Amino acid sequence: MLSLAQLKSQLPCVLKNTDFPSLGEKYEGKIRDNYTQGDRRILIVTDKVSAFDRVLGYIPFKGQVLNQMARFWFDQTKNICGNHALSFPDPNVVVGKQCKALPVEMVVRGYLTGTTSTSAWYNYSKGVRDFCDNKLPDGMKKDQKFVHPIITPSTKALHGNHDESVAPQVLLDRKLVTKEQLDYLMKVAMELYLKGVEICAKQGIILVDTKYEFGLDNNDEIILIDEIHTPDSSRFWKSATYQQNFEAGLNQDNINKEYLRIWLADRGYMGDGPVPNIPEEVIIETARRYIEAYQLITGENFVAEVGPVLERIEENLTKYL
């Protein structure tokens, strides 16, 4: 594990954004800079951190952690569902198949939790018992495990808008996907989640919930795109302390950006208005947690690439420029 001093010294080197006109047409997502070259899509994962659907700052090594974690999971799940990854020319970069993204995110939840207004817990605490067509019993407590994991699809909002959770049928009514596609997405999302749960469990981790994005490749096959089972797309807790925290009504031991979300929520920030100034210690602790998550979940040592990220990426992408 990197020392706090090493994490601190990476602060000025973080990857904020990229500008490589010769890499292809650029689309700037919240976290990834995407460049399209014909049937290839080059995704550069920046060190931006977002919560409540907004970018809040930059976390050392976060892009590397995310990209390498997605790589691990793409590999572990390729027999369940094909994915876009073709190659990884840099720790922060994946070259993928350019797809037609389906306008839906498949969210799978194993536990009743969350802090945002789209979270299952928030809705449940406000009295909602039918969550995207999943009927929930009365009397559940925060962070309680569902009898069976539930799928709560959400529509992919355009830049700046909040996503909307909907019942599967709504996706059909709005003609966002076909019935055949929906059936496949529901099946595969659950299989991917259960595979994630199984692998995490061996590592002493609970994969609490997650979301998947899919796209149509050149052959109109549905494949997994973007990222999978990263701390940005998923929530992870430590198994060892789950039960005691649950019974005492304490926050779970999160090993992801939930830390930052809770830090902000404790200061009254819920996604609207000016973002509170996030102190350096909190940024560094967030970085530490991302790296810890990588090591705990994959069981692999994280080999941090220290130094300026942008220059390194430019060098590693020379053949694509």
Ligand X SMILES: Nc1ncnc2c1ncn2[C@@H]1O[C@H](COP(=O)(O)OP(=O)(O)OP(=O)(O)O)[C@@H](O)[C@H]1O
Residues near ligand X (CB under 6 A): 29-32, 34, 41, 43, 84, 96-99, 101, 159, 213, 215, 225-226
Residue 99 near which of ligand X, Mg ion, none (CB within 5-8 Å, type-dependent): ligand X
DSSP 245: H
CA–CA dist 135, 104 (Å, integer): 21
265-294 burial string, b = 16+ CB within 10 Å, else e? Answer: beeebebeeebeebeeebbbbbbbbbbbbb
Q: How far is the CB of 84 from ligand X (least distance, A)?
A: 4
The partner in contact with residue 71, picked from ligand X, Mg ion, none with C-beta cut-offs of 5 to 8 angstroms by kind, is none
DSSP string, 164-205: EE--HHHHHHTTSS-HHHHHHHHHHHHHHHHHHHHHHHHTTE
Q: Which does 205 bind (CB under 5 to 8 A by kind): Mg ion, ligand X, none?
A: none
Among candidate residues 233, 244, 246, the one with its CA nearest the CA of residue 207: 233
Distance in angstroms (rounded) separating the CA atoms of residues 127 and 206: 26
- Least Å from the CB of residue 30 to ligand X: 3
> Minimum distance between the CB of residue 17 and ligand X, rounded to whole angstroms?
11
Tell me how far, at minimum, the Cβ of 306 lies from Mg ion, in Å: 26
Q: Which residue is nearest to ligand X (CB)?
A: 29
Closer of 37 and 50 to Mg ion (Cβ): 50
- Point out the residue whose Cβ comes nearest to Mg ion: 226
Q: How far apart are CA 139 and CA 238, in angstroms?
A: 24
CB of 293 to ligand X, least distance (A): 18
What is the token pair recorded at 220? 């109109």
Nearer to ligand X, 101 or 194 (CB): 101
Residue indicated by tokens 């609970």: 206
> How many CB atoms lie under 10 A from the CB of residue 214?
25
Tell me the closest approach of the beta carbon of residue 311 to ligand X, in angstroms.
22
- Number of helical H runs and strand E runs in the chain: 9, 16
**Least separation, in Å, of the C-beta of 168 and Mg ion?**
21
Cα angle 152-105-128, degrees, rounded to a multiple of 5:
25
Whose structure tokens read 């706090």? 4
Task: Give 136 or 309: the residue with its C-beta nearer to ligand X.
Answer: 309
By a kind-dependent CB cut-off of 5 to 8 A, residue 96 interacts, out of Mg ion, ligand X, none, with ligand X
What is the Cα–Cα distance from 227 to 22, expressed in whole angstroms?
24
CB nearer to Mg ion: pick between 143 and 226: 226
Question: Which of ligand X, Mg ion, none does 289 bind, CB closer than 5 to 8 A by kind?
Answer: none
What the block records as the tokens of 211 is 């979301």
| CB closer to ligand X out of 15 and 112 | 15
Q: Report the residue number, 235 or 252, with the smaller CB distance to ligand X.
A: 235
Give the footprint of Mg ion on this chain (CB under 5 A). 226
CB of 148 to Mg ion, least distance (A): 27
Query: Is 32 or 195 the residue whose CB approaches ligand X more closely?
Result: 32
Q: What does 62 interact with, of Mg ion, ligand X, none (CB < 5 to 8 A by kind)? A: none
Q: Compute the distance between CA of residue 149 and CA of residue 153 in angstroms, rounded to an integer.
A: 13
Cβ closest to Mg ion, residue 48 vs residue 289: 48
